[in-house]
Every structure is written in C-alpha cells, then in structure tokens.
Amino acid sequence: MSGYILDELALIAGLTAQGEEHHRLELSRLLIAAIDSGPSIGVPALCLAVAAVRRPALPGHLAELVTGGPPGAIEIIGLRRTPDVVLLRAEHPGIEWPVLHAASTASQSQVPIVTTAPGRYTETVVEAIRL
C-alpha cells in the first residue's frame, strides 16, 4: 500500500462537525484523490470504531466510499497479530489501542499517519503528519 493511514482524530475532524473547515477540506481532498487513482487511504478498524462513537453514520459513509471506488483506493484494515503489533505493544504498553493500530498499520505499510495530533506518535517509529 502506498498512501496514508487515517487515525480516529483525522476521521473525527474531517467527517464530523467537531472539526474545522480546513480539516474537512483536507480529508475530502485526500479521499477524492484516492478514488481518482491517487495515493490510497487505509483506515484501521479500531480508529473507525472510535470515530463511529462520535458520528454513528461514519462507518456507512466510508463503506460507500470503499465499495463505490476502485479496488484498493480506500481500505478498512482489521487488527491482527503481527510482529509490528507485538513489538509496539511491548515497547509502549500504555498506548491506546487505536493509536497502536494506526501505528502498526503505518509501520507495516510504510506510509505516514494523517492525524490532528502528530505528537501522539513521537515515541513510535512511524511518520505522522497533520491533517
């Protein structure tokens, strides 16, 4: 996968009324680019679950984008035991699960995480960029 991983903070800021207009425009730009054969988007399932608490319609909206777009443009990524997950959990036992899921997914895919709080990933080995 080449592209970006969206964490729950990016989803909440870009797809709910809690974010700023800038966040909504940037996330929209990333999603449209992915659908138009640009860099793909990965959404860790735990990040989607947390964002869905704030906006229950969000999973359905993303499902429409996933199934309506070209294969691989936008993907919901499940959590599974991998060496990256095990290593991150051992090195950061207090890290929240959505953060760990986003970091392990980004590490495996070798792509940056898009978030509104890049500082939460400073202790991990992944690159985090501000939405």
Q: Mean pLDDT of successive 10-residue segments in the chain (131 residues)? A: 90 89 94 94 95 92 92 93 86 89 92 96 91 95
| Domains parsed from the chain with CATH numbers | 3-130 (3.40.50.1010)
Q: What is the pLDDT of residue 19?
A: 82
Q: What is the pLDDT of residue 18?
A: 82
> Is the Cβ–Cβ distance between 106 and 7 less than 8 Å?
no
Q: What is the pLDDT of residue 49?
A: 95
Reduced to 3 states, what is the DSSP secondary structure of residue 75? strand
Please give the structure tokens belonging to residue 29: 């730009």
Enter the pTM of the model. Answer: 0.91
Q: What is the pLDDT of residue 92?
A: 85
Strands, E assignment, the chain = 3-6, 40-44, 74-77, 113-115, 128-130
CA-angle at 83, arms to 81 and 88, nearest 5°: 95
> Is the Cβ–Cβ distance between 8 and 51 less than 8 Å?
yes
Q: What is the pLDDT of residue 22?
A: 93
Q: What is the pLDDT of residue 1?
A: 54
